[in-house]
Amino acid sequence: MVIKRTFEQNFRSKKMISKSTIDRVFEASRVEEVLGDFVNLKKSGSNYKGLSPFSDERTPSFMVSPVKQIWKDFSSGKGGNVVAFLMEHEHFTYPEAIKYLAKKYNIEVEETEQSQEQKEQADERESMFLVSEFAAKYFQNNLLKTELGKAIGLSYFRERGFTDETIKKFNLGYCLDDWNAFTNEALKKGYKLEYLEKTGLSIVKEDKQFDRFKGRVMFPIQSMSGRVLGFGGRILTNDKKAAKYLNSPESDIYHKSKVLYGIYHAKQAIAKEDNCYLVEGYTDVIQFNQAGIENVVSSSGTALTPEQIRLINRLTKNITVLFDSDAAGQRASIRGIDLILEQGMNVKVCAFPEGEDPDSFAKKISEEDIRLYLKENSKDFINYKASLLMEEAKNDPVKKASLIRDMVSSISKIPDNIQQEVYVQETSRIMDISEEVLFTTLAQLGGKVVGKPTSKKTQQFEVVRDDPAPRVKVDELYVLERTIISLLLHYGMMEEDFEDLVVKVDDKGEITLEPEMVTAKVYEKIFLDLQEDEVAFANEHFQKIYQLIIQKYNEEEEFSIDTFINGLQPENASEVTSILMDEEQYVLHDWERMEIFVKGKKAEIGRLVNETILALRRYLVNRKINELNREIKEVPPEESMGILQDIMDYISLKKVLSGKLNRVM
């Protein structure tokens, strides 16, 4: 007898990905290629840089190193290898990230059995994703393989002009006009009602459950990595009580204000074209994509949000808003413009001919003609607002004044002072009004008036003292330990001549450090010195990383940074990445272009190793002196002489070390 396994049994019996598969994935993956699907990266020396995908910023702080196969986001502090990025950005589990990369690089995934404990760890978010993936396949199967799906859903999409290839590409589907056909099928397959309800696919009322999207054609909404987050469903009947479009409710995996429909299919084209077309509806996106214009997304029928704009900002600084020719479409585009400007983006707008929208327009003409029309009719937002609102104002001075104030209001949203001034000049030219009046209005609206002409009355120059910034105490031991790890990572296998300092005591009891030249590898020198001083790192991450580095150097002839990072725990990998990418900040800020030249460590590595070890010894000696000073206060006078002598010896040693470091006691 065949027993059908439930979904939960299948989930718990999942296998572990084999180490050989993981090794092949890391070997094939290129960090710049994978991250380039999510962030618009530009060459910067031997590295790439771009805007942080984890924070709102306007100047790049995100650095990718192809040589080291790591990335670092200096704005948020995050960093790591290619898997760490997918786990941070897409909220993948480790196995999901490996499988995503395996699929990207056409690597077959080999799996081995999990332990019982691992089998029992079922992640709630993952369960919701799996339910959503099942639903997308189920709805498309309805559309393409059931009689009702073909007759109703497929007919509708074909009437819209969508080809079978496009329907499959966007995973379009149909939910049968039945109260609980989907819910029953999902439960039959072993999916939990809890997750059907949490994703909003099923509505549960007491002991009854039914399908949310009953009788609707389905548009799966995907993340930038292609995971199904939620759905949009369009009703096909003329039921006035039902909404024309219905979206999945907010959930742990679907936040409509942070999602753009079509971003998965558009991301590479947006980065390549350095422009994103923003439309209103699902079918606008699909029709443009089918016509060959792939760099197009939609806000999924909701009002445009800052989070959605920042999603585009990761890929390009340029947005072209495409809108319907009707008044409602025009008003919506105006509202969105100011929001886009606030995010520091460059925005253009393009209206379609009377009676057309992006969907209908793209159906009628060729890709070449669409591109030509968009190029010739995309206007800068100032010219667009002027042409749109001047028609309303005509010869009415009051309306014209209102229009000018509206234009200046948009300019006030722009964070860049130079752009503000340029747009003020352009508005002055178009509207035939003085720049001074516009700057005054800008000031009233709260804009920065850097370019405002000076008034005839010159204000007396006044010096205002800044409040002194609070001093931040530097953790010297943390800095020294971090420097040692950095030296090991960057130069561990390098052979250098070192001045080894031997402690000697003369006839008078004076301590001296006599130099003795030795040749050794950097890691050998550091290891022997720390072992001699019996030093253990205070920072547990540094201690673990130090032990692993020394172990690797002792076991292997060559030290591979990317292989080393791939074998670390996430928290240690993040710390190592931060250390490795420290020097890349010089590239990030392009200091050489400003004639600020940063001296590299490599030229004087021997001296740097010696100074770091000396500084660490001095720190530890100073700490010992403080400990003895506390101890001497707590012992009887007759026992204090020995401690006092120890203190004097340590002070003498500290003096010698300070002299070697050219520091004041």
The pLDDT tens digits for 410-436 are 888 888 888 889 889 988 888 888 889
Residues 413 and 534 in one domain: no
Domain co-membership, 459 together with 482: no
User: What pLDDT does 54 receive?
Assistant: 84
Hey, which of 11-15, 417-421, 569-573 has the most confident mean pLDDT? Answer: 417-421
Same domain, 407 and 487: no
List pLDDT tens digits, range 614-664. 888 888 888 888 888 888 788 787 777 777 877 887 787 777 777 666 654
Q: Are 214 and 231 in contact (CB under 8 A)?
A: no
Percent of the chain with pLDDT over 70: 82
**Any domain includes 275:** no
> Environment class of residue 12 by beta-carbon count within 10 Å: exposed (0-12), middle (13-18) or buried (19+)?
middle
State which of 88, 119, 150 marks the end of a domain: 119
Give the pLDDT confidence score for residue 526 in this predicted structure: 87
Higher-confidence position of 333 and 612: 612
Distance from C-alpha of 9 to C-alpha of 359, rounded to nearest angstrom: 45
Tell me if 336 is assigned to some domain.
no
Give percent helix, percent strand, percent coil of the chain, each to the nearest 5.
50, 15, 35
Would 339 be classed as within a structural domain?
Answer: no
In the sheet that holds 228-235, the strands lie side by side as: 173-174, 216-222, 228-235, 245-247
327 within a domain of the structure (yes/no): no
| pLDDT tens digits along 262-321 | 999 998 888 888 899 999 889 999 999 999 999 999 987 678 888 999 889 888 889 999
Compute the mean pLDDT over every residue in the chain, rounded to the nearest whole number. 82
What distance lies between CA 52 and its chain's CA centroid? 5
Q: Which residue has the higher pLDDT, 472 or 378?
A: 378
Q: Is residue 276 part of a domain?
A: no
634 and 519 belong to one structural domain = yes
Q: What is the per-residue pLDDT across 119-162, written as a single tens digit (0 to 9) for each?
A: 444 478 888 999 999 999 999 999 999 999 999 999 999 999 99
In what side-by-side order are the strands of the sheet with 47-50? 42-44, 47-50, 62-65, 70-73, 79-80
Instruction: Please tell me whether residues 96 and 147 are part of one structural domain.
Output: no
Domain boundary residue, one of 97, 119, 141: 119
172 and 100 housed in the same domain: no
pLDDT tens digits, 434-462: 889 888 888 887 655 544 444 444 444 44
pLDDT (mean) for 594-602:
45
Q: Give yes or no: residues 223 and 129 share one domain.
A: yes
Is residue 98, in this structure, part of any structural domain at all? yes
| Single residue among 465, 491, 510 that ends a domain in this structure | 465
What is the C-alpha to C-alpha distance for residues 61 and 65, in angstroms, rounded to an integer?
Answer: 13
pLDDT of amino acid 621: 84
Q: What is the CATH number for 212?
A: 3.90.980.10
515 and 453 in a common domain: no
> Region 383-407: what's the mean pLDDT?
77
Residue range(s) defining the domain that contains residue 619: 477-660
Quickly state the pLDDT bin for 204 (edges 50, 70, 90). Answer: very high
CB 345 within 8 A of CB 312: yes
Residue 70 domain-assigned (yes or no)? yes
Confirm if 213 and 233 have CB atoms less than 8 A apart: yes
List the CATH number of the domain containing 60: 3.90.580.10
Q: Does residue 346 or residue 268 have the better pLDDT?
A: 346
* Coil/strand/helix, residue 68: coil
Same domain flag for 141 and 246? yes
Number of domains in the chain: 4
Does 60 share its domain with 138?
Answer: no
| Amino acid in position 366 | S
Contact (Cβ atoms closer than 8 angstroms) between residue 79 and residue 579: no
- Looking at per-residue pLDDT, the higher value among 334 and 6 belongs to 334
Q: Does 341 map to a domain?
A: no
439 and 559 share one domain: no
Same domain, 558 and 634: yes
3-class DSSP string for 571-620: HHHHHHHHHHCCCHHHHHCCHHHHCCCCCCCHHHHHHHHHHHHHHHHHHH
